[in-house]
Chain A
Amino acid sequence: MRNIFLIIALSFIFISFGCTDSTSDISADYRKGTQGIEISFMQNMPPSEIYDNSPIELVVEVRNKGAHPQIQRATGWPIIVTSEGRGIGTLYLDGFDDKIIMGMPKQISIPTVYGKGPYNPEGEYDIVTFRGNVINLDVQGLQEYDAKFMVTSCYTYETIASQTVCIDPEPYSISQRDKVCIIPDSYSFSGGQGGPVAVTKVEEKVYGDKIYFTITISNSGNGRVVDKNKINTACPYSLDYSNLNKVQVSGKVSGYSLVCDQGGNINLLNNKGTIMCYIPRPSTARSAYTTPIQINLNYGYTSSITKNIKIINTP
């Protein structure tokens, strides 16, 4: 009887080792990496050489390797709608002569693929198929045609970076009071936060009645950052330089919303940018304490892939 009781007790201890606090997934490892929506051509769909006068299928694999969008725990439904009320983005197909490859759709919405999350550590995957027909090359007296297909993705995305920061209302105080933390020179953010645009560094300074956070961000993906408001209207064909490299920064610290320069709009230069945000300085009566900072980056993103296909006149 005593042995049975011991075994049950030991089992509980083992089981409890495997358990985690159900509320701790906010800082889970899925917000890592510098990828977002990744597209690639499915191998041999189509092959690199095909005959004319036949249907053609171009299959694009869509993988969400970032951490956006997330399934909302309260409702169980994901938020994948932009401010314009459209989907997360669109795939655009071009590069070929549509007098030779006919009936191919020029754009298809990106399917709903959720980002990496506690219930889906790899991110979701789907495919998009562009279907068309190759004409008989004899009609144009051609022996072959080198078609180049380019698929461009345009989508909105969000990066959420979290870090524990030290809030010290009196960092320059000469009093000998013990403090639980000291403001470091900078807080390091390495490896990305589950999106192609990432926070790379945060510096904290206390001036007057405000605590300032200098946030450095970087485009660490293989595409380009686009103004999220232009994703559905100008991307990719009508983009000009004024539509590129724009990121909207917002965030929270210790119950305060960050107030950022230029309304939180930042222009990246050479894929990097810095913005200054602040919160009110807490009462000096309060001692230093640690608290999480959450920085939200909202942006549009575009990247392209190409595939060459030789179309041969059927002998």
Chain B
Amino acid sequence: MKKTNKKVNLIFILLVVVFLSGCDFTNIGNTPSEKSFRTGSRGITISFLQNAPPNEVYEENPFSIGILLKNEGAYEVRNGIVSFSIEDEYVDVQRPENLVTFNLNGKSVATPGGEQTTEFLKASTKKIESERRESIIIASLCYPYKTIADTSVCIDTDVYGLKTMDKVCYIRDISSNNQGAPVAVTKIETKILPGDNDDSIKPQFIIHIQNVNSGSVIKKEKVADACSSEPIGIDDLNIINVKAELSGEILECSPNPAKLKDRKTSVRCILEQGISSQQATYTSPLKVELEYGYTSSISKIFLIKKNI
């Protein structure tokens, strides 16, 4: 009986050891945060579904135009628009304005792959005169989107490097490729300027922005117009609204809105009220938020055949 108890105790101790060896007490581990999904240079992607439209359709026949919309970025889209351009002489669609609207959440802890949806448009070919006729369907995608770049920056309160104390960090440029959106903050340069008095400093950041995908940036307010027959002026293209905060304090950015030139631009953001230079050097969170509209398009050529 005693021997059996000893064995049970031994097994119990071994089990506890095995369980504990699997535990990591040191930190949280690889817990995904929202930021870990802010990778990649895509936003909403669009593609035609297989055989929708088919490669060949007989005249006076119904067919479907199907598209797959995926939010491969890290931000949600509300009131995105897909408009279809068809050749009226050969194809009829059964929906006025040829438009579909959609809402899609981006990549997140809840939806790690991002949301996706399919949309269909009923269409039919018209009677053609010749034996065969090629026709094209263009799907244009317009949606409001944003980019968030948050990072820790070094606030070195010793503007001229006169203090001899050790510093927790040193000012350096922060480079990044993308943040889970087609427009990215590619570099942040930090500069610490003297403040309005001897006891203050003004942190300034040069924020470099780039369109890192193949689509075009449009003014956020013109998203609906871009996917309609409404005219869009050159002033509505490449416009991005910039908002920056240093530890919750809003920075003054200029130019704002920013305009991309050759797909790039840079904005200067400064904390005008300044901060005390009497404190030690420290790290502080900088959050940059870009808001814009984005547009891209796909097309497919299909063959309309005459009925025999």
Contact = CB atoms under 8 A, between A and B. Distances in A.
Interface of A: 44, 47-51, 92, 94-97, 99-100, 139-150, 152, 224, 236-241, 243-244, 302, 304, 306, 312-313, 315
22 contacts: A49-B29, A49-B31, A94-B282, A95-B283, A96-B283, A97-B247, A97-B282, A97-B283, A100-B247, A141-B245, A143-B38, A144-B33, A144-B35, A147-B152, A224-B164, A236-B166, A237-B165, A237-B279, A239-B165, A240-B163, A302-B165, A312-B31
A239 to B, nearest CB: 5
B62 interface: no
A121 to B, nearest CB: 31
Given A95-B280, A97-B285, A99-B247, 14 more contacts: A51-B28, A92-B280, A94-B279, A95-B282, A95-B283, A96-B282, A99-B284, A140-B247, A141-B245, A146-B283, A148-B169, A152-B166, A237-B278, A239-B164
A142 B287 contact: yes
A143 B35 CA distance: 6
B166 A150 contact: yes
A159 B243 CA distance: 56
A302 B247 CA distance: 30
Contacts of A50: 27-28
Contacts of A149: 168
A97 B152 CA distance: 10
Given A49-B27, A139-B248, A304 B166 contact: yes
A216 B168 CA distance: 33
A237 B168 contact: no
B109 interface: yes
A113 to B, nearest CB: 22
Nearest to B37: A143
Which 5 A-B pairs have CB atoms at the shortest separation, nearest pair first?
A95-B168, A94-B280, A143-B35, A304-B166, A146-B152
B144 to A, nearest CB: 18
B153 to A, nearest CB: 10
B25 interface: yes
Contacts of A237: 163, 165, 278-280
Contacts of A145: 152, 285
Contacts of A304: 165-166
A147 B282 CA distance: 9
B294 to A, nearest CB: 22
Nearest to A92: B280
Nearest to B35: A143
Contacts of B152: 145-148
Interface in B14-64: 25-29, 31-35, 38
Contacts of B287: 140-142
Contacts of A100: 247, 285
Interface string B282-299: 111101000000000000
A48 B27 contact: yes
A224 B165 CA distance: 9
Contacts of A243: 164
Nearest to B280: A94
Nearest to A43: B26
B26 A306 contact: no
A31 B167 CA distance: 32
